[in-house]
Amino acid sequence: MPRTAASIGTRKLSRASIAITVAAGITFSLFWIIGANPAHWAARTADAMHSYRIRYKGGIDWFFPERLGWFVDHALWIFLGLLLCAVVAD
């Protein structure tokens, strides 16, 4: 007898939880891409455009544009919140 989803014990995810999970994945991907290569997105010294300071490992300061810096600084919490919402939505 072939095994179906019902016999295995799995269930389908709701559209909302799938959409929230995709948003969480995009958030984490952007966080990783921006955080892994700060030289492309930030400056080593503060100026008019790069005013949001984030300290990296080794005591190196990078100054990001205000909105991008806020996102990098809070992206992990946004990611975890979205994952929690996906669990609750399912």
Share of the chain above pLDDT 70, in %: 88
Confidence at 89, pLDDT banded by 50, 70, 90: confident
Pairwise CA distance, residues 14 & 19, whole Å? 9
> What pTM does this model have?
0.78
14 has pLDDT over 90:
no
pLDDT tens column, 37-81? 999 999 999 999 999 999 998 999 999 999 999 999 999 999 999
Place of tokens 């990001």: 64
Q: What's the pLDDT score for residue 13?
A: 74
Contact 70, 52 (CB under 8 A): yes
Confidence at 90, pLDDT banded by 50, 70, 90: confident
